[in-house]
Amino acid sequence: MRQQEYRCGKRRGRRTTLLLFFAFLLCELGVRSIALADECAGAITTEEALSAEDARYKAQAANDFAAMERLFGQDLVYIHSSAAVDTKNSYIESMRSGTVKYRAMRRSDVKVRTYGCLAIITGKAELDVTTKGEDLSIQLRFHSVWAKRNQGVQFVSWQSTRLPPTP
């Protein structure tokens, strides 16, 4: 009889643990979805996304760090054509320290797709940049992601692939 009571108690303990785990999981998912919804501030337009991308290019070429701080989302993931990955802080610091200096940034063959508060810009870019004292002109294919938030339109992701040199 005691062994049967022990087994019943053990099953109840497992059941309670599982119920608590699933309750916690549901609460966590609910909080995360509320947080994500709070980050959106209405639908972004193609014009807003392109205007923000223009402002970013201008800020980077001018080393306008205050503008970059405003334009770049805290969650920025910047993947360079070399596969190096930067955060908002490390990317801005690379320019602030002088390791990287964008001299000119031009884009072409651009397409913008919008999904609610998100815009994805794809296209080609030509960057004139000085990296560790070396002047480079780099041709890329890229995608850039912008989110319309309460703080304004923010740059949240970049990924680029270097194009082979044209003969």
pLDDT at 134: 94
**pLDDT tens readout for residues 23-55:** 554 445 443 443 354 478 899 999 999 999 999
pLDDT band of residue 17 (cuts 50, 70, 90) is low
Which pLDDT does position 19 carry in this prediction? 53
Q: Are 154 and 72 in contact (CB under 8 A)?
A: yes
Residue 118's identity, in one-letter code, is L
Mean pLDDT within 114-143: 95
Residue pLDDT, tens place only, 57-76: 999 999 999 999 999 999 99
pLDDT tens digits, 71-108: 999 999 999 999 999 999 999 999 999 999 999 999 99
